[in-house]
Structure 1
Amino acid sequence: MTIAEIYAKYRIMPNLQQHMFRVAGVAELIADQLLHPTVELDQPFTPQDCKDVVTAALLHDMGNIVKFKLDYFPEFLQPEGLTYWQAVQQEFWDVYGKNAHQATLSILKELEVSERVTELVNAVSFNKAKRNLDSDDFACKVCAYADMRVAPHGVVSLEERLADGRKRYQPEDKKDTFSYVMAAYLRKLEQQLFAVVSLVPTEIDDIKVSKLFSTYPDWEV
C-alpha cells in the first residue's frame, strides 16, 4: 500500500498527515547525509536504513487521534468539522483504545510492516532521549530527533519545539525534573547527529522539508 492509501484507509487528519510528512522530510534530509558521513560510523548507514527511516517517520503517529483534544486547534478540523472527527476518534477508541502509541503499534501490525520499521517507530519518544543518545543506532537517533523538530504549524528549531512542549503539556507552576533532563539529552543528541554530517540544524527548515513532500503520497510501505 502507498502512504496515501494508508492515510485514507485510517482517515488520518490532514494536520497529522502534514506532521508526519514534515517529520519524514527532516529525517530524510539527515539520513541522506548519513550515507556519506564526515566521520566513520561504528555501524555504516545504508540506503535501506534511509528508506526505513522515512517509512517509520511517515507512520510514527498513526494512532494519535486517540489522544487529541479536538477543539485545541479548531482550524485543523476543516473541512469535515468537529462532529466528523469526534466520530472517527470514537471509532479509534473502540478499536484501539486510548493509548496513542499502542494504537499506532496495532496499526503497524495490521499493515504488516517490518520489525525494523516498528523498532524505529518505537524510538520516537521524548522519554527515550537518553536511550537514543547512548545507542549506536543512528536510524533510531534520526527518527527521534526529527520528531522533535516539528511543531503543530511547521518545522522549528529544537529549542522552539521544547518550548512548545512545555507550553502544551507542563503546568506553569510545576517544574518537571524528568522533562528538563530529557531535554538536555535531546540537545546532546542534536550535537551528536550534526557532528557527523555536512549540515547544521538551521539548514533544516520548512522550505527544504516541503520540497520532499511530492514523493510521500506514493511511498510504498
Structure 2
Amino acid sequence: MITVLLADDHATVRSGLRLLLSAQPDLEVIGEAGDGAVAVAQARALRPDVTLMDVRMPGVDGLAATEQIVAAGWSRVLVLTSFEVDEYVAGALRAGADGYLLKTVDAGPLADAIRRVAAGEAVLAPEVTRQVIAGFAAAQAPRTPPTSLDGPAAAAAADRVARLHDLTDREREVLDVIAQGLSNAQIAAALTISEATAKTHVSRVLAKLGCTSRVQAAILAREAGG
C-alpha cells in the first residue's frame, strides 16, 4: 500500500483527490493539510510515501514546505498545481520534488504518477517538460518567488556540480540518460544492462551528487552541459 498526504488549501480539491485515490486499491490517503506548515508537520508525523503538494498556499507555501520535507527525508513530493510555467516549476524541482503535474491530469495518470514517484522515478507533466529543460539549460540566474530557494540551497547546488568529477565513466553515462528522463527499464535498455543494475547505478549517482531526486540530477546534468 502506498500512503499519500494531500496538501492543498482548498478543501474541495482535497476531497476530490481523496475520492479519486480511494478508488485505487494500492493507494491510501492518510492525511490532509491546508497550508505548508501543516503539510510539514503532517509529513513529519505520518511519514507518507508521497505528498501531493500544491504550490500556492497561505503562510508557508508549497515550495518551502517541499524543501523542508525532502531535506528531512519524511516523504517524496509530487507537486500538483494549476500553474504551468516559469519559476514555480523551477522552484519545486530545485526544492527536491520528484515530479510536477497540473491539476488537469486525469485520475489514471495521476495514480500512476504517484506510484512512479513512490518507486523513486521522476514525473513531469508533458506541458512543462520542454519549458523545464529549456529554462534550466538557458538560465544563468532563474527568477524565483520570494519564498523560493537561495543561500544554502544555492551553495548545495554548487557543491553538487563539483561532485560531478567524482563520477565514474559509467556513472556519467547513467547521469546522461537520467537527464533524458528515462525510467530504470529504459536506462537498462539504453546501456545494455539489467534493470536491477540500472537501479543500483542511479542510486549511486544520486548519492554521490547529493541529489534527493532524479529530477535534481537531471537539472544538474543540464546545467553542467551534460
More strand by share: 2
Higher relative contact order (CA 8 A, sep 6+): 1
